[in-house]
Structure 1
Amino acid sequence: MSRITNLLTLTLAAISLDASARTSTLADCTHLDSDHPQKAKRYLMCLDSNIELLERDRQAWINKLIMDTEELEKDTGNTQLMPIIKRSLLSQSRYMEDSCKWRYLKELPNSTSAAKVYKRCKISFLQHHTTELKANF
C-alpha cells in the first residue's frame, strides 16, 4: 500500500511542478489593452488564457492539499480537518466570485471596461490563493 502512496505523491509533485512552470509563463497582456473593440477583444482573450493557467495551477495545489489531508486522516484518524478545508475552499471561491462581480457591476454600462476589471480581479485572486495554498504555515 505504501508503494501506491509513494507513486501518488510523486505524481502529484510532478503535476504541481508542471503547473508552477506554466504559471511562470503567464502572458504579458498589457500591450494589448485598448478601448478599441477589436483590440480589447484580444486583450480579454489574453487575460482568459492567463486565468485558465492560474486555475489549473490552483486546482493542482488544491488536489495536493486534499490528497495530503486524506493521507493524514488515514495515518492519524483525525477526520475533523477535511470538512474545514473543503468549507474554506468553497468560501474562498464564493468570495473571489462575489468580489470580482461587484467590481464588474460597478463598471457597467461599459461592458468592455467591466470585463477587463473582472478578469484582472480574478487573476489577482487566483495568484494570491495559489500562493496561500503553497505556503506551509
Structure 2
Amino acid sequence: MSKITNLFIITVAALSFDTSARTNTLVDCTHLDSDHPQKAKRYLMCLDGNIEMLERDRQAWINKLIMDTEELEKDTGNTQLMPIIKRSLLSQSHYMEDSCKWRYLKELPNSTSAAKVYKRCKIAFLQHHTKELKANF
C-alpha cells in the first residue's frame, strides 16, 4: 500500500473512532418528556440530536465496511460481496423506516405521542444496526 492510502485509512479510522466515542454519550432526553406541546417540542428536538449523532456513527461504519470490501475485492477478485452488502444495507434501511412508521401510525391521531414513538424506535434501530456493523463476524 502507498503512504497516501495508509494515511487515508488511518484518518478514516480515527474519524470513525471519534464518531463512535460520541455515540456512547447520547443526550439523556427523559427529563424533557412531557405532554405539554412546548415541552414536547424540546424533547423531540433532543431525540433528533441523538438520531443525527447515531446516523453519523452508523454511516461511518458503513463507509468502513464498503472501503474494506473494496480492498478485499482488489486483493481477491471476489466481486460477489459488494452487491449483497449494498442490498442488505438498503433492505435494513427500508425495514427500519417501515417498522418505525407503523408504530407512528398506531399512535395517531395523537401526533406528539406518535412522533415520540417514531423517534425512540429509530434510535433503537440505529443503535442495534451500528452494533451489528461493528461486530466482527
Q: Note whether the superposition's TM-score is higher than 0.5.
A: yes
Q: Which residues of structure 1 form unaligned runs of 5+?
A: none
Where do 1:37-48 residues align within 5 Å?
Answer: 37-48=37-48
Q: Distance in 2 between matches of 1:8 and 1:78?
A: 23
Kindly provide the CA deviation profile for residues 14-59 of structure 1, in whole angstroms up to 9, marking residues without a partner as x.
1111111111121000000000001000000000000000000000
Letter of the 2:85 counterpart: I
Question: Equivalent residue of 2:35, what SS?
Answer: coil
Letter of the 1:23 counterpart: T
Q: Distance in 2 between matches of 1:3 and 1:101?
A: 46
Identical residues among aligned pairs (%): 89
Tell me which residue corresponds to 1:32: 32
Kindly provide the CA deviation profile for residues 79-115 of structure 1, in whole angstroms up to 9, marking residues without a partner as x.
0000000000000000000000000000000000000
Tell me which residue corresponds to 1:79: 79
Q: Distance in 2 between matches of 1:81 and 1:67?
A: 12
The alignment's TM-score, normalised by the length of structure 1, stands at: 0.98
Query: Aligned-residue CA RMSD in angstroms?
Result: 0.8
Tell me which residue corresponds to 1:54: 54
Q: Distance in 1 between matches of 2:37 and 2:21?
A: 32
How many correspondences in the alignment? 137
